[in-house]
Each structure stands twice: as structure tokens, then as C-alpha cells.
Amino acid sequence: MKRKVIGIDEEKCTGCGECIPDCPEGALQVIGGKARLVSDLFCDGLGACVGTCPEGALSVTEHEAGPYDESAVMARIAPQGEAVIRAHLEHLLAHDERGLHDQAVAYLQANHISVPEHGPAGCPPPSPGQRGRHPHPFAGCPGSAARSIPGGRHIDGQKTPGPQASELRQWPVQLALVSPDAPYFDDADLLVSADCAPFAYAGFHGELLRGRILVIFCPKLDSDLDAYVAKLAEIFSRHTVRSITVVHMEVPCCGGAGYVVERALERSGKKIPVKDVTVTIDGQLA
């Protein structure tokens, strides 16, 4: 069957092993000085290890592979103790794999193994007031937890009168669609934004986009981040980009925006000043 699994570029891999702790399923091992995918059965294809590789040697690929087996993974993980079990459960929740998470919990219960308190990776543990509301309590992650945000917040309580002018200076803006040869990248101040940030931050146009060239992508849902690294590297190589501002949400899965820019700069060999801007879930700058 065709499905997503981790691909390893052996030429880039140095065998440093930094990816190993981020694969609690045990699908990766360092063998012969290189990271290896030891079994398709253990690789869920969600890519938790990708962002930790300092050489950019890991990517999510799609090819013929055996079906992922959550029970086999749990049989491998459970003997390694509570910390590894927790890491695996949090990994599944962080990628919204509720079905696999429930299978993992069912395995633990069937084998009389305690289910550790856990939340999606990067989120705090449940507060005392949150415990006991669910048979397997976990704290809601800002990246996936449903919440309402009060509206009507304006500077000094006043709405800005009249329509606001767009600060967008070029089209297209999606990184998959822009051309590395586009002339608007010449002497540009580049704004690299995660997809959700412009919707969350009301001042995006006036404070962040003004005077900048924009490219956007989603570091969580877009599958081919390697292609984005390659395209940004081309842009950096072919043009004199004066500065880069990276805008992303505060949720852990959005941190990949900065990772893509860093890898692209390394590949291009350019030294361009980078500013990081974090937008909180309630629409503020962190």
C-alpha cells in the first residue's frame, strides 16, 4: 500500500542521532553511521523527527510501505517506561491522530499498564482543575483545542473608521506558487508568514506587511517542506534580499516556519538578518 513514511537522504545524514529521541515509536536507529528506518510498521509518517535533523536529511515521503501497526508500536514502547509512553501519546495528539491515540490507550488498558497524564507535545500538563474530566485527561493544545475569542477589542476602545488599505505588493503569495525569478524579490524585505498569522493578528497589514514582499505556507499541513526549503534557497541565491521577518503562531506545530527559513539560508550560503515574530492565539504579539 502507498502511504507516508520518513525518507532519509543518506548523503546529508551525518549519523548524529538527534532524530532518535523524537521517534518514540522506535522506527529510527543509527546503523553504520547513518539514521535508518528499521521498520515501516513503526513509522506513522507524521514527521515528528523531521524538524530536529540539523542537516535537513529527513522528509516525509509517500511510497509503498507496510501498514502502520499501533499495537506493534505499543508492544515495543510499553517496556521502555512511562516517559516514552507519554511522549508517544503526546505525539499522536499533537498531530490530531485521535484514532491512533485511542488504540494506544486501549492497548495500555488491556495490558493493565497505567496511562500517564499527557497533553499534545509542547503543551503543559493538565492543571488540578482539569483532571478527572476525561477517562484519559490531557491539557488542550492551543493548536487544536476549540476556543472562542472575545471580539470587539480596539485600540482605546475605538474602531478605525473607514476601510483599511491593503499593504499587499505582489501576487501570488503562496510559496508553492511564487516564481524564484520574480523581480519583486530584488532588494526586498521579505515577510515569511505561517498561514494562520494574518487571520489572528489584526495589525498584520499595517505593522508587519507594509513595505515587505509576502510568502505564506503552513508548516504543519503542507507536506513537502523540502520543496519550500529549495524554493526559498533559490530566491535567496538569485536576489539580494535585505531582511527576512518570520511570522508564526505560538502553537508548537507552527515553529516549522523558522526551520524552513534557516535551512534555506544554509543551502543558499547567504547571510540575511532574520527577525522572528510570534502571534498568540488571542491575536497579540508575544
pLDDT (tens digit per residue) in 253-273: 787 889 899 999 999 999 999
Number of structural domains (the chain) is: 2
Q: Is residue 205 part of a domain?
A: yes
Range(s) of the domain holding residue 27: 2-64
What span, in angstroms and rounded, lies between the C-alpha atoms of 235 and 127? 46
**For residue 257, which of 177, 175, 182, 199 has the smallest C-alpha distance?**
175
Specify the pLDDT at position 162.
Answer: 63
Specify the pLDDT at position 202.
Answer: 92
Name the residue with cell 547567504.
270
Q: Is residue 44 part of a domain?
A: yes
Neighbours of 96 (CB within 10 A): 16
Specify the pLDDT at position 138.
Answer: 30
Digit-coded pLDDT (tens) for 130-157: 333 333 333 334 444 444 445 544 444 4
CATH number for 18:
3.30.70.20
Q: Is residue 265 part of a domain?
A: yes
119 — pLDDT class (breaks 50, 70, 90): low
Q: Is residue 193 part of a domain?
A: yes
Share above pLDDT 90 across residues of the chain, in percent, rounded to a whole number? 31
Q: Is residue 160 part of a domain?
A: no
Print burial letters for 185-224: b (CB count within 10 Å at least 16), e (below 16): beebebbbbbbbbbebbbebbeebbeebbbbbbbbbebee
Longest Cα–Cα distance in the chain? 66
Q: Is residue 129 part of a domain?
A: no
Q: Is residue 235 part of a domain?
A: yes
Q: Is residue 101 part of a domain?
A: no
Q: Give CA angle at 26 (38, 1), nearest 5°.
A: 55
How confident is the prediction for the chain on average, in pLDDT? 80
Is residue 78 pLDDT above 80, yes or no?
yes
- The domain boundary, picked from 64, 81, 100, lies at 64
- The domain boundary, picked from 47, 64, 81, lies at 64
Specify the pLDDT at position 130.
Answer: 38
- The domain boundary, picked from 45, 64, 83, lies at 64
When comparing pLDDT for 262 and 222, which is higher? 262
Specify the pLDDT at position 32.
Answer: 77
